[in-house]
Each structure stands twice: as structure tokens, then as C-alpha cells.
Amino acid sequence: MRASARRLYRGNLALGALGLAVLALAGAVAAGSLSLETPPLDALRAACRHLLPSTEPAELVIVGLAALAVVVGFRGAAATARHVRAGRRLLRRLPGGEPLEVTGKRVELVADDRAYAFCAGYLRPRIFLSTGALVRLTERELAAVVAHEAHHRDRRDPLRLLLAESLAEALFFLPVLRRLGDRYRQLAELAADEAAVRAVGGCRPLAAALLRVSAQDDGSVVSMASERVDHLLGERPHWRLARPPMLLSALALSALALAGLVAALAGGAGSVNLALLVSQSCMVLMTVAALYAILVPIGLSARRRC
């Protein structure tokens, strides 16, 4: 299972790298075809007087590619920052505890009556164990749980998942990345279960620990993935990637490569002036702004009446 998770992760990164490479190449071609020089004021006024923008399809492709590259960079950076902030908030909210060693592995003890354990941290991941788990689990069960989380720590799974999720968020036009990232998360859990079974010499302690953790003292129930239970019982996991996300991703990559080719051919014929191109949409933008200014107060007034 560890090998399967590794192959899936590498395939996920390879596909994401391919998408980024195609977009970077097409975006670079489009950026090279854009001219940021300010045209004469008379030309801008004349362009703004057009009711509809008179642009060539190739010009729209160039601007679209450049805009897509900016959107991808922004979404990737925003997703990474969001996950990092969420992780920091989680660690700050944890009740303080003392570090200790469990079965020879260092863990961070969390003062909480609920029973749980997890691995967190990107560059230097750590194992967190609640005092509730320390009290409720037997020695072998505790060893299995810590071995499970130690596998996540040694593999730096939090960082791997961060990269996979950021890639899927950034390259939103490749839906297969989301499916591969979700599947890697599941396989990482199965691989960590296998490491725990090897560490304690059987699946019974881990299964018992999962049952104890799933039923908390306060009556709440923590759901467990049925695939993990089946895997502990000896069943091999079965999973098949659906065709629609694969086909949509292949079409998106093909369209991106084609757009890059169009941008390259259009760039060879001459540069596209961005300021002039934007000014050709002046009338449309003013019309939309006027409608927005009229309709928004009406909508707010209707909401207050309701």
C-alpha cells in the first residue's frame, strides 16, 4: 500500500507539473505578445466609443491565457496560505501539554479528555496525542496509534497533502487532480495502518484502538472510513478513477496547448496592445456599471421589506 500511495502521489505531482508547464509556456507566449505601451489618447477615445469591442479571436486568446496564468498563481498561493493558516490556528487552540515518549517516539501531549491522535506540521511534522487517548488505550493499542501517526510524520504526509490540495485548487481546470489528491489521502491512511500493524505484530490492537476512539465518552461517534476496516480485515482496496474527470482534464490540457499555439502564431504577426484592447470594452463596462448601480439599491430595498 505504501508503494501504491507513493506511485499515486508521484503521478499526481507529475500531472500537476505538466499542467503548470503547459500553462507557463502558453502564458509566456501570451505575455510576450502583449504590449503595455500607452497608445495615443485619440486612439483610446476612438476605441472607447465602440459600442461593442472589435477584437480578433487571437487577441482574446492571448489576453485569456495571460489572465488564466495570473488566476492560477493567485489561487495556488491563496490555497497554500489558507491551509497553512488553518493548521496554525488548530495548533494554537490545542490545550497545552507536556511532550513525552510513547514506545520510543516523541509525542506532544494535549490536555483533552477526548481520545484522538494526529500528525501536524509541514517541514517538521509532530505527533499529537490527547490525554484522553493516553488513559483509554492499552499499551499495545497506544503503540499502534503512535506507529500510525509516526508513519505520517516520517512520510511528511501533511506537506504532501498540502501540495496536492494546492495544485488541485490552482489548476481548477484539471478536475482529475482533485480526485487523485483525495485518493492519495485515503491510501496514506491505509499505508499508515499497515505500518502500525507491522509495528505491533497484528491488526487487533489498531482495530481495538479505532473502535475506542470512534466512540467517545460524551456519546459522540467519530466515523471511520469503511475501507480502513475492510483493509484491516484483509480485503484489498479497489478503486477506479472515473472517466469524466480524466476526459475533461485531457480536453483542458489540449485546449491549453492549442491556445498557446494560437497565441504564438498571433504574436508572430504583431503585438497586442493591452490598454487599447481594454478600452474597446469601455462602453460595455460603463453599461454594466450603470445597471449595477441601478439594480443593487433596488435589490437591497426589496430585501429590507422582506
Contact indicator for 161, 199 with CB cutoff of 8 Å: no
What is the C-alpha to C-alpha distance for residues 204 and 197, in angstroms, rounded to an integer? 8
Q: Please list the residues that pair with 126 across neighbouring strands.
A: 120
User: Nine-digit cell at 203?
Assistant: 491488526
User: What is the reported pLDDT for 269?
Assistant: 47
Q: What is the dihedral of CA 172, 177, 183, 187, to 10 degrees?
A: -130
The pLDDT tens digits along the chain (306 residues) read 677 788 888 888 888 888 888 888 777 766 666 655 666 666 555 656 555 455 566 666 777 777 788 889 899 999 999 999 999 998 888 877 678 888 888 999 998 888 889 999 998 999 999 998 888 899 999 999 999 999 999 999 999 999 999 999 999 999 999 999 999 998 999 999 999 999 999 889 998 888 888 766 554 545 567 788 788 877 887 778 888 888 999 999 998 888 878 777 765 545 555 555 555 555 555 555 666 667 666 665 655 555
- pLDDT at residue 164, rounded to an integer: 93
Residue type, 177: L
* CA triple 147-152-157, angle to 5 deg: 175
pLDDT at 168: 93
Distance of CA 64 to the CA centre of its chain: 23
Question: Exposed e or buried b for every residue in 220-246, given b needs 16+ CB within 10 A?
Answer: eeeeeeebbeebbeeeeeeeeeeeebe
Q: Residue 107 in 3-state DSSP? A: strand
Q: CB–CB of 283/48 below 8 Å?
A: yes
* Helix (H), strand (E), coil (C) string for 221-242: ECCCCHHHHHHHCCCCCCCCCC
Q: How many angstroms separate the CA atoms of 110 and 140, rounded?
A: 20
- CA nearest neighbour of 165 among 152, 182, 149, 150: 182
Which segments within the chain are labelled E, that is strand? 34-35, 99-102, 105-110, 117-120, 126-130, 272-273
pTM of the model: 0.78
In angstroms, rounded to a whole number, what is the distance separating the alpha carbons of residues 206 and 208?
Answer: 5
The per-residue pLDDT for 57 is 67
The residues, any chain, with a CB within 8 Å of residue 173's CB and separated by 6 or more, are 249, 252, 256
